[in-house]
Amino acid sequence: MDPKLFGRYEIIRKLAGGGMGRVFLAYDPVLNRQVGLKLIDAGGDRDSIDVVAAERRGAILQDQLAKREQSGRVAQIFDVGDRDGYFYIAMEYIEGEDLSELFANGPLDPQRAVDIALDILDVLVKAHTFQTVIEDRAHRGIIHGDIKPRNIRITSAGQVKVLDFGIAKAVSMTRSLTFNQFGSIPYSSPERLQTGDMDARSDVWSVAVVLFEMLTGKPYFEAEISQKLEWMIRNYRALQPSIAALPPGLREILSRALDPDLSHRFASAAAFRAALFDWRKFAS
C-alpha cells in the first residue's frame, strides 16, 4: 500500500509509477511547498542496489546542474536520503502537463515541436559539457540517459522542464562511454540496446525520437510487445517509411538524427540544435 506519511512528507496522491520507482505529490512542511517525492525500493539484491546507486548519483548530478542552469529548465532537487526501506528524492513539483499529454490528441504544430526540442537540446548541451567533481574524481559531462515524453514537463506558462536525471551518468575525464542497463526501450538507441554503452549521442537519438513523436503523434517504432520492440530497435538498418511524411526540411534533419549508421548521425546535441535552429530561422 502507498504510504500516507513518509518522514516529514505528507502524501497527497500518486503521480507516476513503474520503472525505477513511484512518484507522489507530497507536502513538505519545512519548505511549505508541494514537492514530487520519488520512492525507490532499497532491496538487498544486486539489481536493487544498482538502481539505488544510479538514482543517488543521478540526484547529485541533477542538483548540481539545476543550480548552474540559469534558465530554470532543470527541475530542482530539495532533499535525498534513505528511510524505511526506501531511497527517496524530494524534487521540484511542476504544475502543467508532460509531453505525452500534450500530443495525446494529435501532432503538435511543427514550430511548437521544434521549439520544445530546442529547449531540451539546450539543456543537454549544458549537461554534456558540464564539469564537476564527485568523490574526488573529476568528471566532464552528464548524460541524462532517459529522455522521453514523460520526463519533459511543460508548465502552465509554457516553459519546458527536463525531469528525472535518475539514471544519469557522469562521464569521467578518461572515458567517453559509460555503461547503463536502464532506460526506456522506445527511446533507447540501437547501439545502446546492442552494447549497453551510451554517450552523448544516446541522448541525441532520444530527442530525435521524441521530436518525431511530437510531429506525427505516433511512436517511431511500434510493436505489440516490448521484446519485439527491442528486437526492432536492435536490428534497425534503414529509416522507417514514416519519415517521408514529415514536413520538408525537418524530414532531412530527422533522417540524419535517426540514421541507422552512427557515423552519419549528428555527433552532438549542439549539432542537432544548430540544424533545428537554422530550420526555424528560415521557416518563420
Residues labelled as active-site residues: 146
Give a three-class secondary structure readout of the chain: CCCCEECCEEEEEEEECCCCCEEEEEEECCCCEEEEEEEEECCCCHHHHHHHHHHHHHHHHHHHHHHHCCCCCECCEEEEEEECCEEEEEEECCCEEEHHHHCCCCCCCHHHHHHHHHHHHHHHHHHHCCEEEECCEEEEEEECCCCCHHHEEEECCCCEEECCCCCCEEEECCCCCEECCCCCHHHCCHHHHHHCEECHHHHHHHHHHHHHHHHHCCCCCCCCCHHHHHHHHHCCCCCCHHHHHCCCCHHHHHHHHCCCCHHHCCCCHHHHHHHHHHHHHHHC
Cell numbers found for residue 283: 521557416
